[in-house]
Amino acid sequence: MSTTLQDIRRKACARRVALGFSLDTAHTAVEIAAVLAVPAESPAPAAHAEAHRALHGDHECTAGQEADVQGAALARVDDLPEDLRREGEADAYAAEILLPTPLMARLFWEERCTASEAAARVGVDSALVQGQMAHAVLLPAVSEEPSQETAANREVTLDPSQRAAAEAVRGPLLLGAGPGTGKTKTLVGRCQFLTRTQGVKPEQILALTFSRDAAREMRERLISGDVGTERCGPWVGTFHSFGLEILRRYGSEIGLPEQVKLLGTLDAVTLLENHLDRLELDVLDNLRNPAYHLRGVLRQISRAKDELCAPLEYDKHVAAMQADAEAAALALAAKGGKKVLKKDQEVVERQEAAAAKAREVARCYHVYEALLAENGYLDFADLISRAVGLLEHAPHVLADLRGRYPHVLADEYQDVNRGCARLVRLLAGDEAHGLWAVGDHRQSIYRFRGASPANVAAFGRDYPGGSRLELGVNYRSRRPIVECFAVAARGMGGEGAQEFPGWDAARGAAASSEHPAVLYASAPDDEGQVDGVARSITALREQGWAYRDQAILCRTHAQAQSLVDRLTERGVPILYLGALLERPEIKDLICLLSLYGGGPSTGLVRIAALPEYSVPREDILMLLRRAMRDERPFFEALADVVLWDGLSPAAIPGLGRLTAQLAALDASERDPVAILGAYLFDQSQFIRHLEDADTPAFAAMQKRMAVYQLWELARDYDGGIVRSSVAPTGPPNRVRDFLAHLQRLDAVGESPQGATPPGAESLDAVRIMTAHKAKGLEYPVVYVPNLGHGQFPSRGRHDGIPEPPGLTGASDDETEEDNCLFFVALSRARDHLILSRSAANAKGKEIEPSPLINLISPWLIANSAALVEWPSGRSETSEESDVSPNAPPALPHHSASSLEQYGRCPRQYYYERELQLPAEPPSGAYPKFAAAVRQTLRWLDDECAAGRLPASEALTAQFETVWIEHGPVGRLHEARYRAHAQRLLATALQFATTDRAALENPSLRATLATCHISTRPEVVYERPSDGALVIARYFNTKPAPTDMTDKRLALLRKAAADSHPDRPILLELRYLEDGSTAEVAAPATEYKAKLEADRLLKYERAAQGIARRDFAPAPETQDTCSGCGYRWVCPS
């Protein structure tokens, strides 16, 4: 059995005191070794052995070196094999005996002691001290004493419905457990009944659930209920961790290696990306980002495995999908051209496109399985599918497990997929007398990962002799809240929904304050909604509910982050770290690491501005430019005081400190955790500067927690199982590799998001999270904001890769899952539930109420007092037009590309064009491929403009020259990019042979209200038939519906008309991938003319922003940041 990290540290501290050493005095390791009666030169191994004796009894010790005492991945300790988990626990215990966190905190904060000084005083390795300082300084303090368990509070008291379920003599039993009905207490009661009255040993019970948190809580509750001990008791864990246990123990039966290599999402994406040529992608190909669709492909493969659908069977589903698409196309064609409606045509086209994507997923499935087999890998879905396959083909193994675990408790049964249901069926046996399952189909919120409440409905069919019971009393919420979500339960439909009697509310309807139990508020705008939430939080805090008693549940992380920013501005403390890599303090440290990762020294602009150095930006830019001028590595240039000549006096002290610190770090091992540890705890005052006069203590604590997460990522970084073939080449550099790893994590959606580290539970701050994250939690006060159409439920959740019909038993209706998620959100509240919406978004666009409100409308109608209006939060000041109607006397001149860059992000424009900072080189081969194609096309256009149509051989020779200089030479898939580039250029040459009378100077200039804009089209020529000026724009892709709305087209039309007012203008799109063309007609209606004018207005606004020197970060899209070469320098 495992315990929490906090419990381990408490036990170690108690043991240290028992040994005669205080927690706030730096006793030496030699002194501790003497008390432990071991040689003085080996205190760390001795402490490790002591830890095993205290935590695990007799256990073979495999302690590592002192620097390894921290262990790895303690945050995921429940997923480790038993021996590795125990080693990790012993490492933490040993570190705490030698260097208790209270001592480390005092040394750091009060004595301002560095890690090296503390290591010298205690006599241990400095890396061990850095690890303990990270826990002591970066995390909230852990309470000294754990909660005291007594015989009285260990005894479980059950109500009649709970007792009937817990004391069922035999299964199979499915227990319907609605929210707050005491499911876990009943499960503990079940185990007590089995072990106390039925002669069942605790270790004969297998308890499975879906999340590590749920498994940890279940384990702790069982121990506190005297069902087993930490060392011996029921096997409690997730379905997948038990599948891994089966494969580790019996995997040789199906040819698995002794050491299972389990791939995470990033590893799996990397594996496919490394073998892209074997996938033969077409419709799912993406030259710009080859991994773009791979995560979606893997998601579909995982769904297939969840449903125990092997590649050949998956092929059959896809073939049926293809046949349906072909039949639909034939039926449409049979109608005849004039009878075919556009919407019918679009439906068929979508069917055909979906079938084409599904065919490629099927092909990828075969290749992926082959790659896993060739390398001895497993992925997450294999933990269930391969375990099921093993049990089906090895009867003696199945018999062994059934004998070992005659009682199977399956929690969250509404979330099992076909594979998990089959695993439970196999373990339970034919009669399944020992099966006890718990589920609530109304809380099935994980359908996106294959969960299906259909297993709850099918329980009677799967287990004909089974029975069903319901827990009937809600112990969590006040009666109005229970009645509200009970109405929602009836509105959700399903078997017996209308006859559902609801739950008794054990807490009754007694008012706990002057505020109503349920409130539904509507505000005229989004700021009014935020103001209303802030006022409610403050008012309820004044009534006795602490900040930490209140939680806000959002549909998406983006909604959560928006609320965090605005509530923080209103003085409400919020516990939410958000996107870790976007936090300012994390960008500071990533810029520090980038200096050692072989990239440009741009990050120094951010580092030098830290309070510890306060180097004026003009000075650090001057140094950067001098180093670039002399082509010297910046580390070398920074140490050359000759280059400091002319710097301002304010820059010298900070530069001196910075130079000394960077030199000291450069002398250390080029390892990310070593550099972070030395910088944070030896060299700099970075951590202390996180808390200043302008930063509230709670905000500083959140910054330190974020730094801890980055430190933990660096500590646990092992390079991954599958090394990317697109990784940078050159000498080994773990810092560079770690930074590339962070970017790849971010690219595949695996970057830390909204996570809070251990110890944060004690902080008094409002919790904010997604409704998915709230499953299994409860809070006295719960807010569910943004109940507007397109907000909750949200839009655009699909990755565009379809699932073949019939693959799963789950409904394809996303409405059902949204209903369940809303039900979960409603039922988290104990005392107060505040629902809210805004009638308009930030841009003033009207937002209709969420259709989810219809689920509780009968209750709202019957309780009209719960309906309130919140006032507007917007100021009454009038907004002036962005663009002045009067043009200034001298208009500035801009290039189209510069204004477009400003539109993408003003800060990016500022860094590149104003400060001329070198950008982080783009990762991957595509940017170099695109640059080579662009430069070759420009050469072709210049030749044509000069009246020299090049021969194919000349174009090829020019391309080869450009490719060697600018192309992705030596990169993964170079041959693929080269071949594609040659096809594009061949098409461009074919277009060029049909062009006539190309202009010698193809540049055009448009005059708008605020500026002149120059632009050079790819092709400008005169059409002989009528003298029209044809302006062609190249696309390196196939046609897409959004091409016609490209704002550059509006600018080209305006520039052509201004530059050649006496000639008709024709815009043409040329697609180099398939050779097709499309004419862009001039606006024929007033509405279309306005749309084109609006596109030109974007250029004018950009010019105005530049004139105002407004360079605040304002990324056009999220992708703008993720692909920006200034991402880590940017304050956004």
| Rg (alpha carbons) of the chain, rounded to whole number | 33
DSSP 907-941: HHHIIIIIS-PPPPPPPSSHHHHHHHHHHHHHHHH
pLDDT value at residue 303: 93
Domain boundaries, the chain: 5-138, 160-247+405-436+451-472, 265-379, 487-494+518-574+767-795+817-869, 580-747, 893-1122
Q: Helix or strand or coil: residue 505?
A: strand
pLDDT value at residue 69: 32
- Quickly name the fold that domain 893-1122 has: Lambda Exonuclease; Chain A (3.90.320)
Report the distance separating Cα 821 and Cα 443, nearest Å.
7
Report the distance separating Cα 552 and Cα 369, nearest Å.
42
Buried b (16+ CB within 10 A) or exposed e, 507-541: beeeeeeebbbbbbbbbbbbbbbbbbbbebbeebb
Q: Residue 1079 is inside which H or E element, if any? A: strand 1077-1080
Q: Comparing C-alpha atoms, which of 639, 658, 686, 668 is closest to residue 735?
A: 668
Q: Residue 241 is inside which H or E element, if any? A: helix 239-250
Q: Could you give the strand order of the β-sheet that contains 1012-1015, starting from the edge strand earlier in sequence? A: 893-895, 1012-1015, 1004-1007
Report the distance separating Cα 471 and Cα 482, nearest Å.
14
Contacts of 969 (CB under 8 A, 6+ apart): 963
- Quickly name the fold that domain 580-747 has: PCRA; domain 4 (1.10.486)
Among 3.60.15.10, 1.10.630.10, 3.40.50.300, 1.10.10.10, what is the CATH number of 160-247+405-436+451-472?
3.40.50.300
pLDDT value at residue 726: 65
Angle at 96 between CA 95 and CA 98, to 5 degrees: 65
Diameter of the chain measured on Cα atoms? 102
pLDDT value at residue 67: 32
Report the distance separating Cα 872 and Cα 53, nearest Å.
63
| Cα-based distances in Å from 272 to 277, 303, 1020 | 9, 17, 42
pLDDT value at residue 583: 93
> What is the torsion angle, in degrees rounded to the nearest 10, for the CA atoms of residue 917, residue 919, residue 920 and residue 925?
-160
pLDDT value at residue 68: 34
Residue 233: both structure tokens together: 């008791």
- Quickly name the fold that domain 487-494+518-574+767-795+817-869 has: Rossmann fold (3.40.50)
Strands 1004-1007 and 1012-1015: antiparallel
pLDDT value at residue 66: 34
Q: At what angle are helices 382-393 and 239-250 packed, to 10 degrees?
A: 50
Q: Residue 612 is inside which H or E element, if any? A: none
Report the distance separating Cα 971 and Cα 959, nearest Å.
17
3-class DSSP string for 712-756: HHHHHCCCCCCCCCCCCCCCCCHHHHHHHHHHHHHHCCCCCECCC
Same fold? 160-247+405-436+451-472, 487-494+518-574+767-795+817-869: yes
Cis peptide before 793 (omega within 30 of 0): yes
pLDDT value at residue 884: 47
Q: Comparing C-alpha atoms, which of 263, 291, 499, 278 is closest to residue 382?
A: 263
β-partners of residue 979 are none
List the chain residues with pLDDT less than 50: 1-2, 61-78, 147, 149-152, 877-888
> What is the torsion angle, in degrees rounded to the nearest 10, for the CA atoms of residue 143, residue 145, residue 147 and residue 152?
-170
Report the distance separating Cα 679 and Cα 676, nearest Å.
5
pLDDT value at residue 33: 79
pLDDT value at residue 134: 94
Q: Could you give the strand order of the β-sheet that contains 1065-1071, starting from the edge strand earlier in sequence? A: 1019-1022, 1029-1035, 1065-1071, 1077-1080
* Cα separation of the two ends of the chain: 44
β-partners of residue 895 are 1014
Q: What is the pTM of this model?
A: 0.89
Q: Which amino acid is at 690?
A: L
pLDDT value at residue 144: 56
Report the distance separating Cα 1029 and Cα 998, nearest Å.
10
Place of tokens 């299972």: 260
